[in-house]
Chain A
């Protein structure tokens, strides 16, 4: 027995040693910048404490990469968008303004000349030049993850330190909006080449010319950015000492950490917690219309959804108010359009099929399905399963049987990509470039895995999408998009269900936060 006890004690000592090692060092990345400020904010139990200038932000998952050319996800972008910077930025009114770029001018359909702002410093003190831009865009083109964003760029011609010309291989309206994407971050050529010569990667010590310097990443736990004092633009300079992004996967635990003061903000608040935050006098809730649309896609290649009347009947039969309550606790609005109201490229030209079961019955009878029919609905995720249950009940009243087939996300993508489904529930979050929404969702070439899960093939729509992508006349582009929305909604290829609000909860004393409809939040203005 004594031996057993001594073995256990020895084991405990080993673990304590492991604890000491694992807790502090490990393979966490560190930028090597001064760590005083970060340690203050991230210490256990130090909580946020009003007045502290490190802002603790709760997020649901960890970042995947600190190299802007090696990821295409929102969470990693919280880090890279603040460490690096882009040539252009999206303004709250959905226009684009210069960021690193002072100005740009289209010389012709495929040639754009840019002028850089002067004297912009990287975190290592070097000055930004056109060579850095050329290097970054060429490096990005090689990336399998974000290279497609700049596929229209043929070459970058350096004129002098602050002037360069982008030559495109095809006319494209997406160039400017793409340059605002986190994947189009501008890196320091000599720094990256130096790192690579030493056998290191950008991940080991990311460095850019953004408002924050990289401080530390503890995989699975948190990542920390600290203010860059020599930042060029007073308007977007950090108003706080730094940002600590804390990974808390469980939704309720994230909200509780805000209530206890361990967090200052929670991004993408769980809809079930929205009222809890509203009722708490020390918290505030920021809300916005988002570009997130949920919809039931009807596979137009399969009977009976090859019949437009049946598809329209379904649009009349679904009671969307109930879905908004069941699926997202009322934190959104029933929706009839195909593009979120906050998105660039939204126009109010879609046909609005209001809830009208009698009209649905009429259309079904006219289509020869007066006695109903049976079809399957593929989906992934609990929230969509709740939407499906309501739709199932609505359709049952018309004698239609909807079999819900819930599956894991990767299976869902594969099977709906192959067109095995009669219908499926999906969602779409539009980004700053309308072509990135219209092209995958509606053109023939993207039927299936490309995003068009209705397998809708309409040469007219294809032509309009292509024209809107290259036409330099904004009025013509608007006309194209308006016509597309009118056409697809008249063809009723989906039953649009709802738009979900963007929700960010924060300490009520925290100021300066502007919520972004596309979840690309900036945190530099946040302060107590």
Chain B
């Protein structure tokens, strides 16, 4: 089932799904390479799970084409698709034991082959000798592993994972993240994982697709999305960010000057939107806001919060705009930028992004 080099493993073109009047998935196009770990990231109700269900075949798109290794999936029922899904609830069969669950997708294998296969899969998820355990006797983490082993049993070209770690508590989740990543690397299967946790997406995925109200608004690796978000939504989803309203005063290639309430700022501005004279947003991460004594915009420190390894400051600009600045904590007494200190901002234009308003 190996795809040829040029054919994407999973290829979505203009996929749209409506439920009555509401659009769950709007015109999503996406191509995933074999062996890629892809995360669909977004808040609940953004359509990411529906997109997964469309690929698995539980729902049919109103528009658009879904291809796996070049083969159009239209009209193919779930049981004929070369993809498998792992449910958020795990959906393990309560009337079958662990081996019965894992072997469910392997009815054509002989008894001996099946036993061996189940043992291999259990070893892969580190559940040796769990064959005859009942599902109700397993812990949450063990169930998660059984569900993963069952979904991998048929060696799918694409494995869909719907919030696979959502039901685990935090410590276990971080441990399992590492294992999931290692397993995916070893097997070379294309993983499409749905999550609402940006940290999880950044830790696991080769590429992340951010969904907002049914649309795939940006696709890229974690660093790209973090450093060069395309919209305010993406910028604030992936971490704390200062969003400063303003108007484009001038453009020069990939650069723009934005007139903000506390003066003009230079910013990176790829593309052509928003154009000169239009309302815009300037985004800058708190850790990129420097405090200096230079000639930058003037402000006053109104709050200092010590967070251990970092110190966060709240700064009121002359026009009343509040900004956050975050920097590594350095033992420095007395603090030159304590509450009430008049400071000048040092804003690196490379760290400033021009976004649509």
B and A form one assembly: no
B-side interface residues toward A, CB under 8 Å?
Answer: none
A-side interface residues toward B, CB under 8 Å?
Answer: none
